[in-house]
Structure formats: C-alpha cells, structure tokens
Amino acid sequence: MTDALREDATYLAGLVASGEASPDELLDEALARVAALNPALNAVVLVQEDAARRAIKAGLPEGPFRGVPFLIKDLGAEAIDFPSHSGSHLLQGTKYGFDSAIFERMRSTGVVTFGRTTSPEGGIGPVTEAAVYGGPTRNPWDVSRTSGGSSGGSGAAVAAGIVPMAHGSDGGGSVRIPASSCGLFGFKATRARFPDGPASGEGWAGMAIDGFLSHSVRDNAAMMDACAGPDLGAPYVAPAMEYSYMESIARPPKRLRIGVCETTFSGGAVDPECRVAVQKTAKLLEEMGHAVFPACPVADHAGMMHAWTKIVACGTALWIDKTLEAQGRAFRQGDVQGVAASARDFASGISGAEYLAAVNKVHAYGRAMAATFDKYDILLSATLAEPPASVGRFTHDRDDYEGYRVGAGGVFEYSPFCAAFNASGQPAASMPMHWTDSGLPVGVHLAAAYGADATLIAVCAELEQSAPWAQRKPEMLRNYLA
C-alpha cells in the first residue's frame, strides 16, 4: 500500500467509501506499521486485533471515519474489548464490564479501534515513561527526545504514521504537549464539552477532558462533533456552540484581536526557537488581516499551579487507594513509581479544607482569565517553553512529586502555558507551526474565551490553510516507505 495512512482520517474514510480500500486492508497496513515502527517508539500496546476484526465483520457504523484504524489512550476510555494498564503495574490488565460514553461516541464514527497507546502512570507527567510498558515512549522525529505526555503514545503513533488520528486526554496539557512535541494538531475543548461517564462525573475537579491528536484540523473537528454533548447524569455541561466544529472550519472567522505573548505568562524567557514560532505565527495572522498586539494574561499563575498540584495529588491518591481497597491489601513499596507514590504521600498532608481551597483557587483563576480575555479574542503563545525534552529528564522514578511539578527545573517551567486553560476551562489548541534546524517540531498555543470553541477552531483552520504542515514526515517513516 502507498502512504495512505499518512493522509488524514477523512481521506482514508473516502477510500473506504469509494471501494478503493477496505477496512481490513487499512487495518493490515496499520498492524504492519506497528510491527515495523513501534519497537523504536514503544507507543502502541495492548493490541486487540481480534476485537477489531470482529467489529469490521459485524458491520461498522456509517460515520465520518468508517473503516479508519484508530487507537485509544491507555488511560480512561473504558471499553469492554480493550483491557488497560492505565500506565501502572498496580492497574495492569484491568478489564471493564462497560463501554464508556466517550468510547461509544468514538466508535459511532466508524473507526476500527485495535489497541491502546502508552500513558505515564496516572497521567501526571509531560512525558510518557511508565515502567509497566518496559521503557519510555520515544519521539518519531528524534528517538532521543520525548513524545510528550500524558498522551505521548498517541502522539508518537500518529506522528509515525501508524494511525492518522488517535484518542488522548488533557488535564494539564496532555493532548497539547504531545501535539507540540510530535508536530501534530491537538485541541482541548471547553470544560465539559465531552462526557466523562459512567466511571466518573469529572476528572481532577473539572480540569481534565478527552481530546484527539491528528494531522488535520478537519479530522479533529469531525471527531469532536461526534463526541460532544453531556452524557446521562453529567454534573454540568459546556455552553452550546453557535456552530459545530465542522461548520466552524467552513466559516472563516471575522477579523479578530490576537494577543501575543512571547514570554511565559509570568514574564519569564522561553527558548529562542519557541519565541520564533510565536513571532512567525503572529506575523502570519497579521497578514491574514487580524489585529495583532503584545499581551499577557494577568492572573495568579503561580497560585494556580500550586493548586493544580494539590488537586492532582489528591486524585492520584484516590485511584491508588481505591485500587488497593479493591485488592484487599495495604500499599507496598514498588506498587507504583516514585512520582505517583510521592503524590500519594503529598496528598496525605492535604486536609479536606485545603483541597476545597485549591479548587476555589482554580475557580478564581478562571474568573481572572475570563476578565483578561475581554481584551482579545485569541491569546497566542508557545505551547512549551522549549523544544521536546530529552528522554529521562522528567522520569517518574523520583520521589519528590511537588518539586517535580512546581520546583526549579520542574514540569511547570517546561510547560508553563497549557495547564492555565485546564484550570480556567477555556478552549486551547497546539499547532505545529515551526521546526528547528535539527528537525524538531515546535508548537504554538492558541486559546479563546470560555465556550468560544468555534472561534478558536476556525482560526486554527485558517492557519492550517495558510501554512500547511501535514506532508512533513519523520525520517523513520520516510525510511519505512522507501
């Protein structure tokens, strides 16, 4: 087969609809690429070929991605046919007696799900280096670099051309960090745009949400349209969109006020390559007729990050202790990696009142960010403060969770932008607008006001049309195709 899987999912679905390719043929090619490319990446795990073949034989839904091979993140997206490790030895081989609402909606698009993608333990890192998978997940553009986290396996699988699009989730940048690291498009929707049930009502006090990594904006738009809307019993819902995601990308936005931040939101320096990416994108937006001016959101960014750290520590302690309770035993050294274990220890010192104070701090931050966005329609910044980190730099084999997140040289210095919009609930996206001279992708980050998903994705589609990126290929994929 030609390089069909490097084309986007919409294109592949068109091949199936026209009879030029069958779902089984596309699955064969995806599995061949897993065999050829995954040993160098360690991105695709828990392959369930039989389940995929059964789904094809039973008849796929007539959705926008009928017959397209697909992967789901090994964290959340509970599904009967797809056991999970959730990045942890403690949860290894977990089986589910139900299909989650998000999985049912993804399946309704006609995708052929055949496996899962790696995730760091508990989803709490900007890299994907979980011990349960036997080693780190690596970046197809440079295997000495991380593919990001926590949806790092999905980012690597899509960038390497194994699948054209994959599921992820984002509680502090976990879709957008891999998108930046792997040269992909990643979109974090407004809080509660997608269902969390029936396993939970919300993740990390509402900061976590599902999402997708793709080569094209249109693939992400169509999948988000299929997944949008509350499920039964949702505790709250996102504001209604004036237009669907797909309608929005077909409607060029009005000329917008674009605030541009070339530093961190606290005024710190970013890597020159990241600054160049922002400047190039700002110039392009200005050439497109948008009003572009310097800006930086005024809010308690450091306070938000410390509150985020407390909330996620409590969430980590919850899943560890619930699992141990179900297993009827006490915690043992080695049950989880160092970061998760120290997060649990850190959470033990947080009272209920302190937890609620952290949630209130996050809500206050959202109000401050909402006020800031009265001044502009879109905020442009880098996605990360530097190009993708080397493998091992943010290893989970350390026991200082708080320092890992907010200490000197920690995660929030490396990723100072993404979690802001998990805390505020606002929509945000990472776009691959720059590559370094050494061939590493560098993403730019665009965010909009709460509920303004339609405006944001319309701008993303405009940028994609003006500066397309999808034909770039990592060397490992070029070698495979040669």
Which residues participate in catalysis according to the annotation?
73, 150, 174
Residue carrying structure tokens 């699992």: 323
**Token code pair at residue 457:** 């994705």
Cβ neighbours around 471 below 10 Å, total = 9
Yes or no: say if 336 and 121 are a contact pair by the CB < 8 Å rule: yes
Residue 183, C-beta contacts closer than 8 angstroms, at least 6 positions apart: 141, 159, 432, 435, 441, 443, 469, 472
Cα gap 26→192, rounded to integer Å: 33
Which three-class secondary structure state does DSSP give residue 76? coil
Q: How many residues does the chain have?
A: 482
Identify which of 374, 115, 125, 426 has the alpha carbon closest to the alpha carbon of residue 257. 374
Q: What is the C-alpha end-to-end distance of the chain, expressed in Å?
A: 12
Torsion angle, CA of 153/173/340/193, rounded to 10 degrees?
A: -90
Yes or no: say if 202 and 209 are a contact pair by the CB < 8 Å rule: no
55 φ, ψ to 5°?
A: -65, -40
Yes or no: say if 166 and 219 are a contact pair by the CB < 8 Å rule: no
Yes or no: say if 190 and 239 are a contact pair by the CB < 8 Å rule: yes
**Token code pair at residue 163:** 């699948």
- E strand or H helix at 431, and its extent? strand 428-435
